[in-house]
Structure 1
Amino acid sequence: MYELQVEEMSCGHCVGAVTAAVRALDPQAQVDVDLAAKTVKVATAVELARVRGAIEEAGFPVAGAR
């Protein structure tokens, strides 16, 4: 499981866009967005770099990931 810090999320639309970006890579991915904490937890077999890239391509810079 990866945890990414995504500071620019502010609303339900952001949550949907981030979730859709990850699921475009892996439709079976489990995505848990905590809007208040600005974190996204992703359970997937896809490499972290690809997940991070998909979120950033959706317009949400990733401040940190582990």
Structure 2
Amino acid sequence: MHEFQLPSMTCGHCAAKVNRALKQVDPACAVEVDMALRKVAVRSDEGRATLAEALSEAGYRPA
């Protein structure tokens, strides 16, 4: 399980975009979004760096 703090994720639209970006990298991943804490947890076989890069490219750079 990889956890990322995403300070720029502020709304449901942001959460959906984050989810899509992660699913493009690993369609089988499980994504849990916590809007209140601006955090996302990802269960994936992909490496942390790959997931962080996908988030950054989508405009949500992990803190």
What is the TM-score with the length of structure 2 in the denominator?
0.97
Q: Does 1:10 align with 2:37?
A: no
Residue identity matched to 1:34: D
What is the CA distance between 1:61 and its match in structure 2?
1.3
Q: How many residues align?
A: 63
Unaligned runs of 5+ in 1: none
1:56 aligned residue: 56
Q: Distance in 1 between matches of 2:22 and 2:14?
A: 12
* Residues 19-58 of structure 1 mapped to structure 2, 5 A cutoff: 19-58=19-58
Identity %: 38
Runs of 4+ in 1 over 4 A off after TM superposition: none
Aligned partner of residue 19 in structure 1, secondary structure:
helix
Q: Distance in 1 between matches of 2:22 and 2:58?
A: 10
CA RMSD, Structure 1 to Structure 2 (Å): 0.5
Unaligned runs of 5+ in 2: none
